[in-house]
Amino acid sequence: MIKIGIVGTGDRGTSFVRAAEHIPEMKIEAVVDTNPIRMEAVIKHHHYPPVKKFNNLDDLLDANIVDVVFITTPDWTHSELITKCLEKGYHVFCDKPLAITPAQIKEILIAANKSSKMQFMGFNMRYNPLFTKLKEVTGNKDIGDILTGWCYSGYQGDGYFRRWHKFKEKSGGLIVHKGCHILDIINWMVDSYPVEVYATGGQKVFGGNKKWPGCHECKEIETCAYARKLTDDQMKLLEDIYIKAATVDGYTRNYCVFGPSDVPDHYLLIIDYASGARVIFEEIFFGTGLFYMGFAGEKGEIVTGSFIPDSIIVRKKFDRDKEKRYQVQKETKEFHGGADIYMLKDLIKSLETGTQILPGFKEGARSAIIGVAAMISIEQHKPVNIEQLLPIELLQ
């Protein structure tokens, strides 16, 4: 039985509590949250199993009652928590992103290189059947070595502008917080590390100067297209978990989407890799969920996306069969399409066999540093060399 301690009782921490119920080899032994009001409310409303409760990480680590520590706190806190766990000799799982600044990423990688414990990144999109198959086909070199790639992701992302994600000092920018998922998939397919990033971006829809504390107190709720009209049960949940708990730390998740924000709601990146590949990635947060991705090599092209659901198309230049379509398994609805369950099962298998299956902190760093470089590039209006931000050997 692998015993888990979860640091952070927000949505992601709670989702792992629920997922663990489906894995007999895993037990949630303890949870940590610096806000006791929120922690008690979350445990009550989300029906946690019996767990030991701590209000700081040090007490959990000193108790010596868990095998792995899950870091599911907000992004800007990751580096301090991860390094503490590694220094105390614990295996660590970090939900994405790894960190939000070059200094934080470097601190984690140095600590990771000194540790003999396993370090896992929560890149559950690698367990999406579509991307698993895409990796299999590209890994077989059906299109040859990847030379170029392209990806568009149009999130319906107004929710990110209701929470701390809208502030750069908290999230690093949405290209770091959310974009790191797709950036990891791109890195995985290209099978290389980034060396330069050029990016542009800004705010087209969200952000502004409105001062409403949230939809629950807004006089424009009947006319605003992005208004959240909460049911009585949803309002009770908001009050208990966030409004009452805010008296402790000021944390909220109901900002007006048209209130002040210093992160772009759209990004366009050009990423150059050590392998020589170049990939274009566009991500917007005022979309409808449209997605497509493709890569080209010397032998052909591979594409997937919303326009060919649950499918991958490979077109080859030199083969007799010019086009081949792969059908992939549909996602389930729960646990990020079932990916969280598969990911946690591989975590258990990694610990039992001593061979790491999940991506680690190096992969987390490769993804996060692209987002960080993109934010710098947007601000400075010029390409950013990754080696100016991190020793490149840490990414190799």
My answer on whether omega of the bond before 102 falls inside 30° of 0, hence cis, is no
Whether residues 294 and 224 fall in one domain: no
**Count of structural domains within the chain:** 3
Whether residues 140 and 195 fall in one domain: yes
Structure tokens, 155: 């999130």
Of 121, 137, 159, the position where a domain reaches its end is 121
CATH number, domain of 308, equals: 3.30.360.10
Whether residues 131 and 265 fall in one domain: yes
Structure tokens, 50: 């019996």
Whether residues 166 and 17 fall in one domain: no
Whether residues 24 and 102 fall in one domain: yes
Residue 341 lies in a domain: no
Whether residues 82 and 175 fall in one domain: no
Whether residues 101 and 182 fall in one domain: no
CB 69 within 8 A of CB 91: yes
Which pLDDT score is estimated for 234?
A: 87
Tens digit of pLDDT per residue, the chain (396 long)? 999 999 999 999 999 999 999 999 999 999 999 999 999 999 999 999 999 999 999 999 999 999 999 999 999 999 999 999 999 999 999 999 999 999 999 999 999 999 999 999 999 999 999 999 999 999 999 999 999 999 999 999 999 999 999 999 999 999 999 999 999 999 999 999 999 999 999 999 999 999 887 888 888 999 999 998 888 888 888 889 988 999 898 888 889 999 999 999 999 999 999 999 999 999 999 999 999 999 999 999 999 999 999 999 999 998 878 899 999 987 666 777 789 999 999 999 999 999 999 999 999 999 999 999 999 999 999 999 999 999 999 999
Which pLDDT score is estimated for 203?
A: 98
CA distances to 118, 172, 287, 317 from 153, rounded to whole Å, are 32, 19, 8, 28
Burial class of residue 253 (count of CB atoms within 10 Å of its CB; 0-12, 13-18, 19+): middle
Residue 304 lies in a domain: yes
State whether residue 355 is helix, strand or coil.
coil
CATH number, domain of 78, equals: 3.40.50.720
Residue 351 lies in a domain: no
Residue 27 lies in a domain: yes
Which pLDDT score is estimated for 321?
A: 81
Question: Would you say the pTM of this structure is higher than 0.75?
Answer: yes
Alpha-carbon gap, residue 175 to 165, rounded angstroms: 10
Residue 76 lies in a domain: yes
Residue 256 lies in a domain: no
Whether residues 27 and 146 fall in one domain: no
Whether residues 56 and 166 fall in one domain: no
Which pLDDT score is estimated for 229?
A: 85
* Sole residue written with tokens 């792995």: 68
Whether residues 279 and 161 fall in one domain: yes
Residue 354 lies in a domain: no
Which pLDDT score is estimated for 306?
A: 95
Whether residues 154 and 290 fall in one domain: yes
Whether residues 189 and 104 fall in one domain: no
Which pLDDT score is estimated for 191?
A: 97
Residue 56 lies in a domain: yes
Give the structural domain span for 234: 215-249
**Amino acid identity for residue 275 in this structure:** S
Which pLDDT score is estimated for 211?
A: 84
Which pLDDT score is estimated for 331?
A: 67
